[in-house]
Amino acid sequence: MTLHLVLVEPAGARNLGSVARLCANFGVAELRLVAPRCDPLGAEARQMAVHARAVLESAPQFADLAAALADCGRVVAATGRREGAPLPLHGPAAALDWLGAGEAPPAPDAAAPGPPPEAGAAPPGPLPVALVFGREDRGLSNDELLLAGRLLRLDAGCAYDSLNLSHAVAVVLHEWHQRRGKTALNPVGPATAAFPDPAARASLEAALGDAEALLLEVGFLLPHTARARMAKLRALLQRAQPDSAEVALLRGMVAQLRWAARRPCPPGAPH
């Protein structure tokens, strides 16, 4: 299973270098950076990365979190909040078991553009999964947390429960490594395997964009309240974690409703 680790606006170069080293320690496929506020290739970051400098050098950068997660299926975001999060909070065991549960290839996405696969081509593999960590000073916003399927919180002492970024990453990656080893010995059971992987983030974001445009057009949403109401819809879909076929169904429904809303009424028909 391909795991990407995503840091949103990391500010501490030494933290960033330490996280790069952890990615090498625990076999993370790729470190992704969203608008870093420090130099990923600076002397401090490279010093802390030690023999994992290649991880820093190859880390792609993205303008926002949605772009960094576009090709991912299951996403877990870490948060330090005790309350006020837009989705339920889970401990590491539950969140990481869910993250690692999808092993089957995703269902074909009817809404995705592009030519059909060639005859005899190998079927697509499972979508990458992602672990997301926020800013050192203020974590992730509600909008960013709503891009995840599960929210992970690490428990610490009540007197001072804010963990350093690289320490939090170390704890979570160690737990991931341990649980992946157990999964190899104890494969996912029928109850978990019955649920297909969620759709790629880009597909779900496109469906939400289509729905928002239609709901604004027909007056269900108003410009000044659209963001808050769409956040509730996003939270509903994140709890459901629709797969590719279900997202394609939603997009088809929106397209048909848009056609019906724009269709001229016959003379004499009730409005």
Percent with pLDDT over 90 in the chain = 55
Q: 97 in a domain, yes or no?
A: yes
Integer Cα distance of 49 and 55 in angstroms: 8
Q: 242 in a domain, yes or no?
A: no
Q: DSSP per residue over 184-210, as a string?
A: HHSPPPHHHHTSPPPPPHHHHHHHHHH
Task: Give the angle 45-51-52 at the CA atoms, nearest 5°.
Answer: 60
Q: What pLDDT, on a 0 to 100 scale, did the predictor assign at position 77?
A: 97
Mean pLDDT within 226-243: 88
Mean pLDDT within 110-138: 69
Q: 218 in a domain, yes or no?
A: no
Q: 116 in a domain, yes or no?
A: yes
Q: 228 in a domain, yes or no?
A: no
pTM: 0.79
Residue 154 sits at φ, ψ, to 5 deg, of: -95, 130
Integer Cα distance of 91 and 95 in angstroms: 6
Q: Which H/E stretch holds residue 46?
A: helix 43-49
Tens-place pLDDT, residues 78-123: 999 888 889 999 999 999 999 998 654 444 444 444 445 554 444 4
Helix, strand, coil shares of the chain as percentages rounded to 5? Answer: 45, 10, 45
Q: What pLDDT, on a 0 to 100 scale, did the predictor assign at position 183?
A: 53
Integer Cα distance of 116 and 206 in angstroms: 20
Q: What pLDDT, on a 0 to 100 scale, did the predictor assign at position 162?
A: 81
101: domain range?
A: 3-195
Tens-place pLDDT, residues 6-38: 999 999 999 999 999 999 999 999 999 999 999
Q: 139 in a domain, yes or no?
A: yes
Q: What pLDDT, on a 0 to 100 scale, did the predictor assign at position 269?
A: 63
The segment with the largest mean pLDDT, out of 93-107, 114-128, 153-167, 208-222, is: 208-222
Tens-place pLDDT, residues 164-192: 999 999 999 999 999 887 654 444 444 44
Q: 213 in a domain, yes or no?
A: no
Q: Which H/E stretch holds residue 61?
A: strand 61-62
Q: What pLDDT, on a 0 to 100 scale, did the predictor assign at position 114?
A: 46
Q: 13 in a domain, yes or no?
A: yes
With a CB cutoff of 8 Å and minimum separation 6, the contacts of 56 are: 16, 17, 20, 31, 40, 41, 45, 46, 49
Count of domains observed in the chain? 1
Q: What pLDDT, on a 0 to 100 scale, did the predictor assign at position 201?
A: 86
CATH code of the domain covering residue 94: 3.40.1280.10
The secondary structure of residue 269, as a DSSP letter, is: -
Average pLDDT across the chain, whole number: 85
Q: What pLDDT, on a 0 to 100 scale, did the predictor assign at position 27?
A: 94
